[in-house]
C-alpha cells in the first residue's frame, strides 16, 4: 500500500495510506509568493522507510505562483523526482519538509528550468535531501548557453550525472568542478561544442556519452585526464576526422563508438593507444579507404562493426584483421567491397561470425579463410560471386551456417565444400546454378537444411544398382530440402529410401514429367512434399490437373494390366481398377447399347475381383430397363449409373442388395411401384439417388413417391428438378392436395367441422364455469337434470335440513314469511327453530352447537338487529367452524334490511361475506336461490324416475291374508289358515303391465279369486289411484 499526501489545511499536509499515483492538491493558488509549503509527514511507517518498495511511493501535487505546478514523486531512500509544469523560476518553489531519508539514490528534474540564484542543490536541501548518488536534469527544451557551474552546485557525492535532452550549446570549462566523484556522464542529445579541459576535474570518470550533439571537431587532449575511462560514445556527430593523439591517454578504454559521423579516413596510428579496446563501431561513415595496420596495436579487439559506408569502401588493406587472436565478430556488410586481400583474416583464430553480405564481390581468394577454424557463421549473400575456388572453406571445420544466396554462381564443384564437417544449413537460393557435382556433399554429412530454390538445376544423377541418386544422397541427416523453381524432372530415390529424417521436400515449379507409385513411398513418416504447380499430362481425365489437387481416387488402371483381375469385361466396354478404394469401374457409357452384353465363354473359370466393388456406368445408351447384372456378380455391384437412357420401369429383381448409388435421371420413368419404393426407403446402403428429368405422373397413386421425395431419407441431387409431367413445379414444393384434391377437400371439411364442434363445446364449458351457479339454480327451480344438482347422502344422518339463526326482533319475518314457505310446498324442509325445538332450561351454547351439528345447513338472517345480538354472533361462529371442519358450504346468509358498510362488521363475519355469495330478501329469484342453497333431497330425483317407470304399469300390492284387515276395513273375507308362517310381515310390490294378465289379480273389479286356498281381492283398479306421496313412503322389499 502506498502513501499519498492529503491536504488538511492550506499550510498543513499529512500522510495517509492509499494507492500509489494518486494526485493530491498540497497547496492552492491563493498563496502569496513568499509563503512556504509546510509539509509534516508524521505517520509514515518506519518499516516502509527502511524497506522501500515500488508501492511505497509518495506523490505531492503543488500549485505555486503564476500557475506554476510541481509534482513530487518520492520513494523513501530510493529516488525523488520533480516534474515541472509552466516552470518560471525556482524561487517560486518554497518547500520546507522533513521527508523520510536524507540520502537518495537518484534525484530527477524533468521539464524544469534553471535559475541563476537558486541551484538544484538548494532545491534538494529544501526537501531535506543532503546526499545523492545520481542526478538527472532533462528539460526537453532548448536551453542554449544558460548552463553554469552554480546551477549544478550542491552535489559533491554524485557519481552519475545525466544532462541529456536539454539543447545546451555551450558549457563552461569549470562546469564539472563540483563533481569530483563523478563516474558516469551523459551529455547526449544537446548541441555542444566542448571546451578543452572540461573533463580535467573528473579523473574518476568511467563512462562518457557524447552522442548526437552535432560536434564537428574534438580537440586533441580533450580526454587526456580520463585515464580510467572505459566507455566512450561519440556517435551521431559531424566529425570528418579524428585528430592524432585524441585517444592516446585512454589506456583503459574498452568500447568506442564513432558511428554515424562523416569520417572519410583514419590516421594509421589513431587507435594505437587503445591497448584494451574490445569493441569498435565505425558504421555509417563515408570511408573510402582505411590505412594498413589500423588495428595492429589493438590485440584485445573482439568486435568490429563497419557497416554501410555508402558503398565507397571498395577494398581493405592487407592484414587488417590479421593476428587479432581475440577477434570474434566482424561485420563488413554494405560497404561496396569488390576485392579482399587474401591475408585479411590470417591468424584471427577466434573469429566466430563474419558478415560480408551486400557488397560487390565477384570471387574470393583461395586462402582468405585460412586459420579460421572457429567460424560458425559466414554470410556472403547479396554479392556478385560467380565462382569460388575449391576447398576455400577447408579450414572452417566448425562452420554451421553458410549463406551464398543472391549471387551468380553457375555450378558447384566437387570439392567446393570440402572441410565443412559441421555445416548444418546451406543457403544457395537465387543463384544461376545449373549443375551440382554428384559428390559435392560427400563430406557434408551433417547438413540438415539445404536451400537451392530459384536456380536452374537439373540435378545430375548418379546410378547405384539401377537407382537414381541425387547429389544429396550422402546427407543422411537432411531434414529440409528446398528445390522449388528449378528444372528438376524426377523424384530421386534417395529422398524416399535413405532420407529417413526428411520432413520437407519442396519440388514446386519444376519439370517433373512422371510420378510413379514408388516415388510416393517415402521412408520418412513426417515428410511434407510440395509439388505445387505441377500438372498432369495423362491419362485422360486427369490432364491439366495440378498434382497438389490430385487425389488417389482419381488414379485408375486398365483392368487387363492389373495383377488381380479374374473377371471378364462386358463386350464393348472399358474396365478400370481404382486401387485406392478397391473399385472395379465398368465404363459402357455412350455406346448406344440396348442391353449389357457379356461373353459367357469361359465364365466358369472366372471370378469377380476379390474385395473389389463394381461401379457400372451405362450413361447415354438406349436401355429401356435396368440391365441384368447377375453375370457380373450382383452382390458386388454398388453403383448403377444409368442416366440419359430410355428406361420406362424399375424392376425390383434388377436392383442389387448392396446398392449405394442409383442414377436414373434423364430417362422415361413415369411411376415407381410400391415394392421398389419400399426397397429404396428401407435400404441401409443406398446413399445417392437421381430422379430428375423424368415424366413423372402426379396422381393419387403417386402419393407415396411424393412422401418419399419430401422425406429426404436419401441424398437426391437436383431435387428441385424432379417435376411432374407437363408441369414446371418441383415435387419438393407440392402437397398431397396437388395430387389428390377431392380427398383433401373431404378431409379438410371434416377437420373444419370437428374444429367448430370443439370450439362450440369449449364455449359451452366456458359459459358453464362462468355462470354455473345461475345455471344450477335455474335447473333446480324447474326440476330439470336434478341428478346434476342433487346432493349425495353424506348428510343422511342429520335430523334437520336447516337451523335458522336470527334475532328475536326479526321473529315476525321468520315465523310469518320464511318458515311457512320452507315447511310447505312440493319440497318441504325440516327446520330447527329456537322457540320450537330447543329444550327449556338447557345451556344455550350447548343447544347452539347441537343445533348446528344436527342440521345440514345454517340459515343466518343478517339484519341490523342480528349484528347487535351476542347470541347471533355465537351461532354464526359455530356454523362457520362446522363448515370449515367439514370443508363444505354449510352457512346460508340472508340479508334482511340495510346492514350498512361492511367495514364496521366483525372481522370473521366480514371475511365470510366478502368470500361467499348470499341471498337478499326482495330479490325476484330469492326463493329459487334459497331452495338451491338448501339440501337437495335425493328422493326427488328417484320419484321423477319412478313416475316415468310406472307410467304404463299398475302398482299392485299382495298382502298376507292374516294382515289384510289392517288395510281393508270394508268387510271380513273368508280365508283358510296359512299353510306356512311367512318369515316376516311384509309388502310385495308387483308391477303389472296393462296388456298382461296376472294370475293373481283379476281384472274384473267384482270378482274375487283364490290363492293357496285364500281369498283374493282387488286392491286398486288403477295405478293412478296411488298418490305420489304414498309411493314415496312405500318400502319395496322381497321376502
Using H for helix, E for strand and C for coil, what is the string for 424-493?
Answer: CEEECCCCCCCEECCCCCCCCCCCCEEECCCCCCCCCCEECCCCEECCCCCCCCCCEEECCCCCCCCCCH
Res 854: pLDDT: 81
d(CA 15, CA 39): 9
**Structure letter (DSSP) for residue 814:** I
d(CA 579, CA 162): 79
Over 90: is that where the pLDDT of 564 sits?
A: no
Task: DSSP for 296-318, please give it.
Answer: TT-TT--EEE----TT---B--T
Which range (106-115, 443-452, 877-886, 949-958) has the least confidence?
949-958
Residue range 136-149, pLDDT digits in tens:
999 988 888 889 99
Residue range 733-776, pLDDT digits in tens:
888 777 777 655 577 778 888 988 998 888 888 877 777 666 76
Residue range 300-325, pLDDT digits in tens:
999 999 999 887 899 999 999 999 99
Res 920: pLDDT: 84
Residue range 989-1037, pLDDT digits in tens:
333 344 444 433 344 443 333 333 434 333 333 333 333 333 333 333 2
pLDDT above 70 covers a percentage of the chain that reads 77
Report the half-sphere exposure of 596 (CA within 13 A, side-chain side): 25
> Is domain 552-697 given the CATH code 3.80.10.10 in the classification?
yes
Res 409: pLDDT: 97
Who's near 319: CB < 8 A, 6+ residues apart? 292, 293, 296, 341, 343, 344, 346
Res 109: pLDDT: 93
Highest-scoring range by mean pLDDT, 98-107, 457-466, 877-886: 98-107
* Closest-CA residue to 621 (of 643, 663, 592, 586): 592
- Report, as an integer, the average pLDDT of 627-648: 91
In this structure, what C-alpha cell is assigned to residue 302?
573482439
Over 80: is that where the pLDDT of 563 sits?
A: no
* Closest-CA residue to 621 (of 661, 657, 668, 577): 668
CA distances from 937 to 41, 940, 944, 1002, 1036 (A): 101, 6, 12, 38, 19
d(CA 113, CA 423): 60
* Closest-CA residue to 688 (of 729, 753, 642): 642
Res 782: pLDDT: 56
* Average pLDDT of every residue of the chain: 79
Tell me whether residue 983 is exposed, middle or buried, using C-beta atoms within 10 angstroms of its C-beta: 0 to 12, 13 to 18, 19 or more: exposed
Over 90: is that where the pLDDT of 511 sits?
A: no
Which range (170-184, 206-220, 301-315, 535-549) has the least confidence?
535-549
Res 606: pLDDT: 52
Which range (145-149, 152-156, 564-568, 581-585) has the least confidence?
564-568
Who's near 540: CB < 8 A, 6+ residues apart? none
Instruction: For residue 96, name the pLDDT band (cuts at 50, 70, 90).
Output: low
Whether this model's pTM surpasses 0.85: no
d(CA 538, CA 119): 92
Which range (29-38, 82-91, 596-605) has the least confidence?
29-38
Check: CB of residue 463 under 8 Å from CB of residue 469: yes
Task: Count Cβ atoms below 10 Å from residue 661 Cβ, excluding itself.
Answer: 16
Res 625: pLDDT: 93
CA 150 to chain CA centroid, Å, is: 67
Of 794 and 149, more confident: 149
- Report, as an integer, the average pLDDT of 519-529: 79
Nearest-10 Cα torsion for 268, 271, 272, 277: -150
- Annotated domain spans of the chain: 20-140, 552-697, 791-933
CA 653 to chain CA centroid, Å, is: 52
Residue range 666-679, pLDDT digits in tens:
999 999 999 999 99
What top-level class would CATH report for the domain 791-933?
alpha beta
d(CA 314, CA 289): 8
CA distances from 184 to 108, 158, 195 (A): 15, 9, 19
Res 327: pLDDT: 97
Instruction: For residue 19, name the pLDDT band (cuts at 50, 70, 90).
Output: very low
Would you mind telling me the total number of residues written for the chain in this entry?
A: 1039
Q: Is 742 helix (H, G, I), strand (E, B) or coil?
A: helix
Res 1018: pLDDT: 38
Tell me whether residue 209 is exposed, middle or buried, using C-beta atoms within 10 angstroms of its C-beta: 0 to 12, 13 to 18, 19 or more: buried
Over 90: is that where the pLDDT of 30 sits?
A: no
Instruction: For residue 1039, name the pLDDT band (cuts at 50, 70, 90).
Output: very low
In this structure, what C-alpha cell is assigned to residue 249?
591517454
Grid look-up 565443412 returns 420
Over 90: is that where the pLDDT of 295 sits?
A: yes
Res 959: pLDDT: 38
Res 440: pLDDT: 93
* Closest-CA residue to 795 (of 873, 901, 886): 886
Over 90: is that where the pLDDT of 530 sits?
A: no
Instruction: For residue 915, name the pLDDT band (cuts at 50, 70, 90).
Output: low
Res 35: pLDDT: 35
Over 70: is that where the pLDDT of 966 sits?
A: no
- Report, as an integer, the average pLDDT of 707-733: 84
Amino acid at each position: 500500500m502506498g502513501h499519498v499526501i492529503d491536504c488538511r489545511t492550506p499550510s498543513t499536509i499529512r500522510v495517509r495510506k492509499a494507492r500509489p499515483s494518486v494526485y493530491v492538491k498540497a497547496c492552492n493558488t491563493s498563496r502569496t509568493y513568499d509563503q512556504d509549503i509546510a509539509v509534516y509527514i508524521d505517520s509514515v511507517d518506519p518499516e516502509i522507510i527502511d524497506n522501500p518498495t515500488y508501492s511505497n511511493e509518495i506523490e505531492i501535487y503543488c500549485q505555486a505562483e503564476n500557475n506554476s505546478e510541481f509534482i513530487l514523486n518520492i520513494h523513501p531512500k530510493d529516488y525523488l523526482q520533480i516534474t515541472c509544469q509552466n516552470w518560471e523560476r525556482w524561487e517560486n518553489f518554497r518547500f520546507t519538509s522533513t521527508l523520510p531519508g536524507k540520502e537518495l539514490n537518484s534525484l530527477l528534474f524533468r521539464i524544469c528550468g534553471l535559475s541563476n540564484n537558486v541551484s538544484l542543490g538548494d532545491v534538494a536541501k529544501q526537501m531535506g535531501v543532503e546526499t545523492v548518488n545520481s542526478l538527472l536534469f532533462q528539460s526537453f527544451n532548448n536551453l542554449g548557453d544558460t548552463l553554469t557551474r552554480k546551477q549544478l552546485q550542491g552535489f559533491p557525492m554524485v557519481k552519475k550525472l545525466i544532462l541529456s535532452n536539454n539543447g545546451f550549446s555551450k558549457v563552461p570549462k569549470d562546469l564539472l568542478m563540483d563533481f569530483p566523484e563523478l563516474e558516469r556522464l551523459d551529455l547526449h542529445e544537446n548541441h555542444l561544442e566542448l571546451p578543452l579541459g572540461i573533463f580535467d576535474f573528473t579523473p574518476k570518470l568511467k563512462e562518457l556519452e557524447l552522442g548526437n550533439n552535432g560536434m564537428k571537431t574534438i580537440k586533441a587532449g580533450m580526454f587526456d585526464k580520463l585515464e580510467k575511462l572505459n566507455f566512450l560514445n561519440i556517435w551521431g556527430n559531424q566529425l570528418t576526422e579524428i585528430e592524432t593523439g585524441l585517444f592516446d591517454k585512454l589506456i583503459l578504454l574498452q568500447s568506442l563508438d564513432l558511428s554515424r559521423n562523416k569520417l572519410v579516413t583514419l590516421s594509421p596510428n589513431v587507435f594505437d593507444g587503445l591497448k584494451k579496446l574490445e569493441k569498435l563501431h565505425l558504421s555509417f561513415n563515408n570511408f573510402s579507404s582505411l590505412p594498413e595496420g589500423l588495428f595492429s596495436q589493438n590485440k584485445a579487439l573482439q568486435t568490429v562493426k563497419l557497416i554501410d559506408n555508402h558503398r565507397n569502401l571498395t577494398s581493405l588493406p592487407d592484414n587488417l584483421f590479421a593476428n587479432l587472436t581475440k577477434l570474434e565478430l566482424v561485420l563488413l556488410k554494405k560497404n561496396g567491397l569488390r576485392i579482399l586481400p587474401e591475408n585479411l583474416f590470417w591468424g584471427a583464430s577466434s573469429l566466430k561470425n563474419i558478415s560480408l553480405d551486400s557488397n560487390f564481390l565477384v570471387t574470393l581468394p583461395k586462402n582468405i579463410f585460412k586459420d579460421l577454424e572457429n567460424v560458425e557463421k559466414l554470410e556472403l549473400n547479396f554479392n556478385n560471386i560467380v565462382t569460388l575456388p575449391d576447398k576455400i572453406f577447408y579450414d572452417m571445420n566448425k562452420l554451421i551456417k553458410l549463406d551464398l544466396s543472391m549471387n551468380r554462381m553457375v555450378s558447384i564443384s566437387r570439392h567446393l565444400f570440402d572441410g565443412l564437417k559441421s555445416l548444418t544449413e546451406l543457403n544457395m537460393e537465387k543463384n544461376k546454378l545449373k549443375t551440382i557435382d554428384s559428390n559435392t556433399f560427400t563430406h557434408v554429412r551433417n547438413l540438415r537444411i539445404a536451400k537451392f530454390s530459384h536456380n536452374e538445376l537439373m540435378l545430375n544423377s548418379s546410378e547405384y544398382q539401377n537407382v537414381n541418386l541425387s547429389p544429396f544422397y550422402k546427407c543422411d541427416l537432411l531434414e529440409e530440402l528446398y528445390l522449388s523453381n528449378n528444372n528438376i524432372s524426377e523424384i530421386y530415390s534417395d529422398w524416399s529410401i535413405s532420407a529417413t529424417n526428411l520432413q520437407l521436400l519442396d519440388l514446386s515449379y519444376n519439370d517433373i514429367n512422371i510420378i510413379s507409385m514408388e516415388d510416393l513411398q517415402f521412408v520418412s513418416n513426417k515428410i511434407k512434399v510440395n509439388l505445387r504447380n505441377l500438372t498432369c499430362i495423362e491419362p485422360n481425365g486427369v490432364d491439366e490437373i495440378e498434382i497438389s489437387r490430385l487425389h488417389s481416387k482419381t488414379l485408375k488402371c486398365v483392368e487387363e494390366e492389373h495383377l488381380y483381375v479374374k473377371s471378364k469385361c462386358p463386350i464393348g466396354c472399358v474396365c478400370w481398377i481404382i486401387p485406392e478404394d478397391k473399385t472395379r469401374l465398368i465404363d459402357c457409357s455412350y455406346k448406344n447399347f440396348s442391353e449389357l452384353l457379356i461373353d459367357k465363354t469361359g465364365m466358369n473359370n472366372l471370378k469377380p475381383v476379390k474385395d473389389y466393388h463394381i461401379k457400372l456406368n451405362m450413361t447415354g445408351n438406349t436401355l429401356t430397363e435396368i440391365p441384368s447384372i447377375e453375370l457380373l456378380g450382383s452382390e458386388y455391384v454398388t453403383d448403377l449409373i444409368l442416366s440419359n437412357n430410355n428406361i420406362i420401369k424399375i424392376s425390383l429383381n434388377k436392383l442389387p442388395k448392396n446398392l449405394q448409388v442409383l442414377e436414373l435421371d434423364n430417362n422415361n420413368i413415369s411411376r415407381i411401384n410400391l415394392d421398389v419404393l419400399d426397397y429404396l426407403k428401407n435400404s441401409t446402403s443406398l446413399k445417392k439417388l437421381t430422379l430428375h428429368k423424368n415424366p413423372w405422373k402426379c396422381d393419387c397413386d403417386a402419393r407415396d413417391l411424393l412422401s418419399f421425395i419430401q422425406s429426404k431419407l436419401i441424398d437426391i441431387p437436383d431435387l428441385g428438378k424432379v417435376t411432374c409431367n407437363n408441369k414446371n413445379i418441383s415435387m419438393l414444393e407440392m402437397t398431397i392436395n396437388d395430387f389428390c384434391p377431392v380427398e383433401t377437400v373431404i378431409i379438410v371439411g371434416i377437420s373444419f367441422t370437428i374444429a367448430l364442434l370443439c370450439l362450440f363445446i369449449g364455449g359451452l364449458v366456458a359459459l358453464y364455469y362462468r355462470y354455473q351457479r345461475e345455471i344450477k339454480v335455474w335447473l333446480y327451480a324447474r326440476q330439470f337434470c336434478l341428478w346434476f344438482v342433487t346432493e349425495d347422502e353424506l348428510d343422511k344422518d342429520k335430523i334437520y335440513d336447516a337451523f335458522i339463526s336470527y334475532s328475536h326482533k326479526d321473529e315476525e319475518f321468520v315465523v310469518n314469511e320464511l318458515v311457512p314457505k320452507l315447511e310447505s310446498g312440493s319440497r318441504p324442509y325440516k327446520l330447527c327453530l329456537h322457540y320450537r325445538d330447543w329444550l327449556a332450561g338447557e345451556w344455550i351454547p350447548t343447544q347452539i352447537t347441537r343445533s348446528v351439528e344436527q342440521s345440514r345447513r345454517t340459515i343466518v338472517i343478517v339484519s341490523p338487529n342480528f349484528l347487535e345480538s351476542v347470541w347471533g354472533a355465537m351461532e354464526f361462529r359455530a356454523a362457520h367452524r362446522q363448515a370449515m371442519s367439514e370443508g363444505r358450504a354449510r352457512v346460508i346468509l340472508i340479508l334482511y334490511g340495510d346492514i350498512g358498510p361492511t367495514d364496521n362488521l366483525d372481522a370473521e363475519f366480514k371475511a365470510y361475506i366478502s368470500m361467499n355469495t348470499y341471498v337478499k330478501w326482495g330479490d325476484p329469484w330469492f326463493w329459487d336461490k334459497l331452495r338451491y342453497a338448501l339440501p337437495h333431497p335425493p328422493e326427488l330425483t328417484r320419484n321423477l324416475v319412478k313416475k316415468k317407470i310406472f307410467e304404463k304399469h299398475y302398482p299392485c300390492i299382495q298382502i298376507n291374508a292374516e294382515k289384510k284387515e289392517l288395510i281393508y276395513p270394508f268387510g271380513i273375507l273368508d280365508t283358510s289358515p296359512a299353510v306356512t308362517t311367512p318369515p316376516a310381515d311384509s309388502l310385495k310390490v308387483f308391477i303389472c303391465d296393462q296388456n298382461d294378465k296376472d294370475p293373481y289379480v283379476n281384472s274384473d273389479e267384482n270378482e274375487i279369486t283364490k290363492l293357496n286356498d285364500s281369498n283374493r281381492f282387488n286392491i286398486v283398479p288403477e295405478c293412478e289411484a296411488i298418490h305420489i306421496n304414498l309411493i314415496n313412503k312405500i318400502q319395496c322389499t322381497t321376502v
